[in-house]
Amino acid sequence: RKEVEQDPGPFNVPEGATVAFNCTYSNSASQSFFWYRQDCRKEPKLLMSVYSSGNEDGRFTAQLNRASQYISLLIRDSKLSDSATYLCVVNSGSNYQLIWGAGTKLIIKP
Amino acid sequence: SAVISQKPSRDICQRGTSLTIQCQVDSQVTMMFWYRQQPGQSLTLIATANQGSEATYESGFVIDKFPISRPNLTFSTLTVSNMSPEDSSIYLCSVDWTGTNYGYTFGSGTRLTVV
């Protein structure tokens, strides 16, 4: 079993729709959780951290379920510019060691 | 957040040669991280570079193949030695600019092709 698992997609979604990604992690000792965005041929960029209470940033909502060891990302009113690969990232339980999911590719269509 | 300048952005190299990748950060950071991203895959940590000490390598990566320098708190290099086509990949440096594990910034990456 991979330490961090994501549906690779691609998710083909019409503009304006709501899309949700899930990610599961295997290390119950993990403390930090993130969603990164990576555009084609670009470096990953931090989209948002994920907190236990859930957090929202504009059209983006992240949720953490520690009991089930999964993280979700919800994108509302999707835009063409949201097309990218979304990477789920979890710390390994020790400082500075991040484990990266393989990413979910999202394609927003007009 | 920190700004990282990574060079070169891409290169095509002959097998058996070596390539050194440089990363310059606009602020002092304790740790710098070197990743590899193979086509269609996610990031794999190669090593963590601390200033003033030897880098810490992850399983599957060795110093002879990927020597790292960290001469000061703003600069690091990764060398890919004795290259083979299997080394063709994107190499990325990264720093945790928050120092709290809550914000990682990446260089723009080096796209390496070994022929």
**Per-residue model confidence (pLDDT) at position B101:** 62
* SS3 per-residue string spanning chain B: CCCEEEECCEEEECCCCCEEEEEEECCCCCEEEEEEECCCCCEEEEEEEECCCCCEECCCCCCCCCCEEEEECCEEEEEECCCCHHHCEEEEEEEECCCCCCCEEECCCEEEEEC
Q: Do A43 and B101 touch (CB under 8 A)?
A: no
Q: Which residue has the higher pLDDT, A15 or B42?
A: A15
- Tell if the CB–CB gap between A32 and B31 is shorter than 8 Å: no
Residue A94 has pLDDT above 90, yes or no: no
| Model pLDDT for residues A27-81, shown as the tens digit of each residue | 888 888 999 999 998 999 999 989 888 899 999 999 999 999 999 999 999 999 9
Mean pLDDT, range B47-62, rounded to an integer: 91
Using the predicted structure, report yes or no on whether residue B102 has a pLDDT greater than 80.
Answer: no
A97·B45 Cβ contact <8 A: yes
Q: Which residue of chain B comes nearest to A93, CA vs CA?
A: B101
Q: Which among B42, B102, B106 has CB closest to A102?
A: B42
CB contact under 8 A, B109 and A46: no
Task: Return mean pLDDT, chain A.
Answer: 91
With 70 as the cut, is the pLDDT of residue B71 above it?
yes
Least Cα separation, residue A81 to chain B (angstroms): 19
Selecting from B42, B48, B106 the residue whose C-beta is nearest the C-beta of A96 gives B48
What is the CA angle A52-A55-A57, rounded to 5? 160
- A87, B42 Cβ separation under 8 angstroms: yes
- Residues of A in Cβ contact (< 8 Å) with B2: none
| Contact check, Cβ <8 Å, B108/A95 | no
